[in-house]
């Protein structure tokens, strides 16, 4: 899956979890850019990502995911090994 495609689907996940259609993500977006991106929503985003991409993430890795770019980088190899 291409980075752009992952970004697009991540964007959908964020809009869904935050209940806000106006969110536009870029690689550098982090928690301080989106008001609602708190630690609780972080958990929800992770769980929703797992559903959306059909992958399983572990707790250690999740703590390292500081911005959207890091999430894409983390998801990319998991999705490649799947296909």
Residue 23 CA: distances (Å) to CA of 2, 18, 58, 59, 77: 21, 9, 26, 26, 25
Q: Rounded to whole angstroms, how far apart are CA atoms 28 and 50?
A: 21
- Binding mask 2-41 vs other proteins (x if CB under 8 A, - otherwise)? --------------x--x-------------------xx-
End-to-end CA distance of the chain: 9
Is residue 80 a contact residue for other proteins (CB under 8 A)?
Answer: no
With CB under 8 A as the contact rule, which of the stretches 4-12, 22-30, 54-62, 68-76 interacts with other proteins?
54-62
Site residues (vs other proteins, CB under 8 A)? 16, 19, 39-40, 43-44, 47-48, 51, 58-59, 62-63
């Amino acid at each position: 899956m291409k980075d752009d495609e992952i970004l697009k689907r991540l964007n959908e996940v964020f809009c869904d979890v935050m209940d806000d259609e106006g969110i536009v993500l870029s690689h550098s977006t982090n928690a301080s850019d989106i008001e609602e991106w708190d630690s609780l929503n972080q958990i929800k985003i992770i769980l929703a990502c797992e559903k959306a991409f059909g992958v399983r993430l572990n707790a250690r890795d999740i703590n390292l995911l500081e911005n959207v770019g890091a999430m894409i980088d983390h998801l990319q190899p998991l999705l490649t090994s799947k296909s």
